[in-house]
Amino acid sequence: MDPMRCQEMEELLCDYVDGTLSAEGKAVFEEHAASCASCGELVAEVMGAVQFMERAAVVEPPQELLTRILYHTPKAAPLVEVLANREWLKSWLRPLLQPRFAMGMAMTILSFSMLGKFVAPVNQLKPSDLDPVKVWHNIDNSAHRTWDRFLKYYDNLRLVYEVQAAIEEMRRDDREEAASAAKAESKQDGESK
């Protein structure tokens, strides 16, 4: 049998007190406790504390204390009352737990995870990515690209409005020409009669 060291004995102390050590382990443990003064003292103190706890009587709280605690405890918290009446929750979840919906949600999650993996793979973060200069440069670059996109969108929007205004003006001119041609034709028809 290998001699036990003090550290191993401290690790097995709880098992010894609980009585879960094997017969061989218990024999080695007791042998070390008998040969080592500090470990023997530790075992004696722990066993004394355990025996004291076993002798201590179970204390019943006074009835007045229980009554006061129950009096000051709220009857039920609003959330507890709502969750206790779970019929609304069941009625809301019932359609969501249908196999068709559950399978659809599973396929949606799978699709998004595949898109995230293959379309826009996430690169592992490296310590060099946390360099403040690079971080500031990326933020500045993103801000400039966003501003440029906004300006391009604004210019395109202005161009669209100008084109729409020109088309509307051409349509209005065509309607006015058609109206004046119709008036002229009706005048000619009125004069010829």
pTM across the whole model? 0.32
Q: How far apart, in Å, are the Cα atoms of 39 and each of 1, 16, 21, 29, 32? A: 19, 13, 17, 10, 8
Domain holding 182, by residue range, is 128-192
Tell me: the pLDDT tens digits for 150-170?
Answer: 888 888 888 888 888 899 999
Question: Residue 102's closest CA among 115, 93, 92?
Answer: 93
**Residue 28 falls within a domain, yes or no?**
yes
- Which of the listed residues 14, 34, 55 is the one where a domain comes to its end? 55
CB 42 within 8 A of CB 14: no
Residue 162 to residue 87: CA distance in whole angstroms: 59
- Asked whether residue 172 carries a pLDDT value surpassing 90, the answer given is yes
Residue 86 to residue 18: CA distance in whole angstroms: 44
- Give how many domains the chain has, as a whole number: 2
Mean pLDDT over 51-68 rounds to 82
**Residue 41 falls within a domain, yes or no?**
yes
**Residue 171 falls within a domain, yes or no?**
yes
**Which run of H or E residues covers position 144?**
helix 132-192
Tell me: the pLDDT tens digits for 78-105?
Answer: 555 555 567 767 777 777 777 777 788 8
